[in-house]
């Protein structure tokens, strides 16, 4: 780890260098747009190759990527971190690195649908079994642990119902049985939640979301102890999910505003959640910072704010939700979240339908066809509120 770990999160996010030294060097990390590097001798070439140095071959890494990984590690209070070409590359590479045929996983049921599919189908084809549980009740996880269980996998807040899992409680289960605990903390970002400080072994992010924050880079990250990260890095070299230099530079640029973005997004999301909760066309709002949320106590204990994502169920059906979205003029219909612009979607039309999860899992998900997910950006709050009113009026006319 670098020397200055006592800086605040926003200071870490802004700083180009984290050693506190005054030196003549570029204020921003440069982009070395190269696939390979020239070295002075064959002996040096071999030594750098065996060390997987970041100035040997860009599939092993490069200086811009190293800087981005260092920043993520510091933000998560981790010994080390890795950056990947997508969030799913981070998740699947990590699981491939840590699991072997015959191993067993206990996973939260309410996880990103493609992570669910990976564990339920692809990992199973490689001989890894997974049981899915309601992780908001740690006893449900404990009940499914077997002698061959190797790791626990949770996502908090969850997508798209914003369920909150007590990380410390699940970490206690993992510690008592010598199991690994992996936490997908994408919806919180390192600015709002640090699972490693709560007992997790690894924290995962789709960096496409809050870390980048500008909807112009696909990337992922994993952070944790140096030994675990080293094992994952060897698998990353084999699978090749490395972020290119220019994308890594864009990620670095995006992370510099992490704190200011997330603070405003969280404040506006809470305001809009309260607004929607008061509307007669809305049956229910899912947001962990609302007093009405069943998870508010745990959320306020392990998060610094509620994040930018909320979801709500309209009074109607899928056609009502479609009418709501079609009436919007400020908020685009698009996949993803965590960017400076607000985005909206109907989860049942995308990753959470029967075609993706399967009929049984889709029913168990609790995701209604009239559920709408909103990622709140940094636009003027009055404009966002007026746009939602426009959508609610259209939904009422349809109903």
Please report whether residue 100 resides in a domain: yes
The string over 313-326, giving b where at least 16 C-beta atoms fall within 10 Å of a residue's C-beta and e elsewhere, is: bbbbeeebbbbbbe
Do 135 and 217 belong together in one domain?
A: yes
More confident residue, 6 or 339: 339
Residue that terminates a domain, selected from 255, 276, 302: 255
Quickly state the pLDDT bin for 1 (edges 50, 70, 90): very low
Do 251 and 262 belong together in one domain?
A: no
Which residue in 169, 131, 126 sits closest to 150, CA to CA? 131
Do 57 and 140 belong together in one domain?
A: yes
Whole-angstrom distance, CA of residue 159 vs CA of residue 155: 8
Contact present, 300 and 338 (Cβ < 8 Å): no
Do 222 and 292 belong together in one domain?
A: no
Whole-angstrom distance, CA of residue 262 vs CA of residue 18: 22
Q: Quick check: 39 pLDDT over 90?
A: yes
Whole-angstrom distance, CA of residue 255 vs CA of residue 208: 11
DSSP 8-class letter at 333: B
Residue 359 main-chain phi, psi, to 5 deg:
-60, -45
E strands, 46-176, where?
80-84, 104-108, 129-133, 149-155
Please report whether residue 181 resides in a domain: yes
Residue that terminates a domain, selected from 228, 255, 282: 255
Give the sheet arrangement for strand 371-375, strand by strand: 282-286, 309-314, 371-375, 343-345
Contact present, 308 and 269 (Cβ < 8 Å): yes
Do 366 and 218 belong together in one domain?
A: no
Whole-angstrom distance, CA of residue 388 vs CA of residue 276: 8
pLDDT at 179 (0 to 100) = 98
Please report whether residue 281 resides in a domain: yes
Predicted confidence (pLDDT) per residue in 230-278, tens digit: 999 999 999 999 999 999 999 999 999 999 999 999 999 999 999 999 9
Whole-angstrom distance, CA of residue 364 vs CA of residue 373: 18
Q: Quick check: 384 pLDDT over 70?
A: yes
Whole-angstrom distance, CA of residue 107 vs CA of residue 119: 9
E strands, the chain, where?
80-84, 104-108, 129-133, 149-155, 180-184, 202-205, 220-224, 282-286, 309-314, 343-345, 371-375
- Which CATH number does the domain housing residue 273 bear? 3.90.1150.10
Other residues' Cβ atoms within 10 Å of the Cβ of residue 390: 16
Do 32 and 59 belong together in one domain?
A: yes
Q: Quick check: 30 pLDDT over 70?
A: yes
Q: Quick check: 305 pLDDT over 90?
A: yes
- Domains in the chain, number: 2
Do 46 and 192 belong together in one domain?
A: yes
Lowest pLDDT segment from 6-10, 214-218, 322-326, 386-390:
6-10
Do 36 and 167 belong together in one domain?
A: yes
Do 214 and 356 belong together in one domain?
A: no
Q: How many helices (H) and strands (E) does the chain have?
A: 17, 11
Q: How far is CA 335 from CA 110, 312, 373, 374, 388, in A?
A: 18, 16, 10, 10, 18
Token pair for residue 254? 């995006």
Query: pLDDT over 70 for what percent of the chain?
Result: 95
Whole-angstrom distance, CA of residue 258 vs CA of residue 108: 27
Please report whether residue 2 resides in a domain: no
pLDDT at 2 (0 to 100) = 47
Please report whether residue 67 resides in a domain: yes
Residue 288 domain boundaries = 258-398
379: left (phi over 0), alpha (psi -120 to 50) or beta: beta
Do 142 and 168 belong together in one domain?
A: yes
Q: How far is CA 387 from CA 86, 90, 158, 301, in A?
A: 31, 35, 26, 33
Whole-angstrom distance, CA of residue 165 vs CA of residue 362: 20
Residue that terminates a domain, selected from 227, 255, 283: 255
Q: What is the residue-averaged pLDDT of the chain?
A: 94
Please report whether residue 22 resides in a domain: yes
Do 43 and 178 belong together in one domain?
A: yes
Please report whether residue 4 resides in a domain: no
Do 351 and 250 belong together in one domain?
A: no
Please report whether residue 202 resides in a domain: yes
Predicted confidence (pLDDT) per residue in 165-178, tens digit: 999 999 999 999 99
- Which CATH number does the domain housing residue 93 bear? 3.40.640.10
Quickly state the pLDDT bin for 383 (edges 50, 70, 90): very high
């Amino acid at each position: 780890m670098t020397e200055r770990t006592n800086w605040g999160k926003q200071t870490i996010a802004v700083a180009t260098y984290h050693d506190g030294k005054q030196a003549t060097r570029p204020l921003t990390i440069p982009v070395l747009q190269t696939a390979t590097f020239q070295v002075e001798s064959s002996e040096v070439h071999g030594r750098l190759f065996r060390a997987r140095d970041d100035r040997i071959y860009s599939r092993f890494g490069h200086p811009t990527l190293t800087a981005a990984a260092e920043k993520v590690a510091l933000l998560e209070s981790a010994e080390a971190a890795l950056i990947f070409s997508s969030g799913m590359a981070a998740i699947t590479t990590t699981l491939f690195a840590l699991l072997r045929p015959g191993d067993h996983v206990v996973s939260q049921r309410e996880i990103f649908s493609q992570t669910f599919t990976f564990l339920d189908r692809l990992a199973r084809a490689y001989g890894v079994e997974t049981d899915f549980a309601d992780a908001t009740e740690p006893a449900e996880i404990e009940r499914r642990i077997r002698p061959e269980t190797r790791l626990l996998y949770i996502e908090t807040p969850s997508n798209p119902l914003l369920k909150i899992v007590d990380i410390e409680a699940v970490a206690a289960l993992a510690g008592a049985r010598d199991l690994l605990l992996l936490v997908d903390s994408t919806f919180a970002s390192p600015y709002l939640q640090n699972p490693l400080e709560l007992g997790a072994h690894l924290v995962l992010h789709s960096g496409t979301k809050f870390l980048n924050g500008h909807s112009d880079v696909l990337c992922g990250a994993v952070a944790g102890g140096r030994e675990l990260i080293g094992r994952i890095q060897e698998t990353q070299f084999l699978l090749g999910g490395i972020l290119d230099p220019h994308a890594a530079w864009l990620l670095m640029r995006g992370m510099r505003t992490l704190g200011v973005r997330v603070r405003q997004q969280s404040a506006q999301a809470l305001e809009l959640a309260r607004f929607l909760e008061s509307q007669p066309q809305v049956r229910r709002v899912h947001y962990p910072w609302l007093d009405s949320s069943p998870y508010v106590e745990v959320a306020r204990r392990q998060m610094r704010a509620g994040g930018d994502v909320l979801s709500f169920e309209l009074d109607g059906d899928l056609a009502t939700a479609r009418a709501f979205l079609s009436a919007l003029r400020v908020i685009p219909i698009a996949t993803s979240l965590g960017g400076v612009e607000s985005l909206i979607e109907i989860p049942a039309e995308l990753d959470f339908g029967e075609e993706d999860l399967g009929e049984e899992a889709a029913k168990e998900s609790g995701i209604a066809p009239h559920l709408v997910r909103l990622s709140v950006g940094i636009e003027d709050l009055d404009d966002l509120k007026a746009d939602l009113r426009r959508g609610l009026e259209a939904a009422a006319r349809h109903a």
